[in-house]
Each structure stands twice: as C-alpha cells, then as structure tokens.
C-alpha cells in the first residue's frame, strides 16, 4: 500500500468516503517538493508523454467531453478504486474543466448525488471547476451509470 495524499497537499479533493484524489493542471509546474502520485489519469486531446508512475490517458479535448465515454467511465472507476490505497492524480491542461468534471464523476462514484457533485467539487477543490454546460450535464448523466 502506498502513502496517501494529505489534505494539505495542493489540489487534493477529499471525497466523503475518505478517499483523496489530487487534481492538477499540467500547464502549471509541479512543486518539486510535492509528493508524486502512484497512478495518474490524464485528460488530454493527445497522448501525454510517459511519466515515472503508472498512468492512463482519456482522450478528452479541451472544453469538450471524453471521446470514448465507456472507456472514460472505466478509467474513472479504476481511479476511484485505487484512491482507497494509493495517491491518484487526475489532470488536464488547466486543472479545472476536464479535471473538475472527472473529480465530480469520482464524487458520484463515492456516493455524492449526481445533481450535487459539481457543487461538491467547486466547494472542496476549485470554485471554477467544471467549466461548460455539457460538462455539468455529463456529470449528471454519469450518475445514471
């Protein structure tokens, strides 16, 4: 079992179950003293470069939705499951729209009602998270399974 995120770590969202996931914008340099994830899910329009930890890529263009929603759901379920015992990171370019949307989906998996998940992420992660109406709708529909 890996070490888990501390709530004081930058970008960490604590879910109701106690799981913690770090959201991050890849355009912003990572603090060199920050702990490294053991697993990352990267939400980008093109494949990210390989990193020193295990990761998955969801093709997800900026301001849009995942290209393959079935694969996106599967990757987010894996991220949620792994967050119980590992440092999981979710990241896109800016760390708000796509990352916020994915974090809201993790909140749904964690038991937050789909209609409340965006507000939960905005309250506990970033008040500007989940940037577009279609991203908000994606989160509401994510709860339908």
Q: What is the mean pLDDT of each run of 10 residues along the chain (145 residues)?
A: 82 97 94 93 94 95 94 97 97 97 98 98 97 96 85
What is the pLDDT, as a whole number, of residue 2?
59
Rounded Cα distance, 29 and 119, in Å: 27
The pTM of the full predicted model, rounded to 2 decimals, is: 0.96
CB 140 within 8 A of CB 114: yes
**What is the pLDDT at residue 1?**
45
* pLDDT of the residue at 30: 87
Number of neighbouring beta carbons within 10 Å of residue 91? 26
Cα–chain-centroid distance for residue 7? 15
């Amino acid at each position: 079992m890996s070490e888990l995120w501390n709530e004081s770590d930058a970008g960490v969202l604590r879910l109701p179950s106690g799981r913690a996931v770090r959201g991050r914008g890849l355009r912003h340099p990572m603090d060199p003293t920050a702990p490294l994830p053991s697993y990352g899910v990267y939400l980008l329009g093109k494949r990210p470069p390989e990193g020193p930890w295990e990761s998955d890529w969801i093709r997800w263009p900026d301001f849009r939705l995942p290209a393959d929603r079935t694969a996106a759901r599967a990757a987010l379920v894996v991220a949620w499951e792994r967050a119980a015992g590992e440092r999981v990171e979710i990241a896109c370019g800016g760390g708000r729209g796509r990352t916020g949307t994915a974090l809201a989906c993790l909140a749904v998996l964690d038991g937050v009602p789909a209609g409340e998940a965006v507000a939960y992420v905005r309250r506990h992660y970033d008040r500007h998270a989940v940037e577009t109406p279609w991203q908000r709708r994606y989160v509401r529909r994510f709860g339908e399974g």
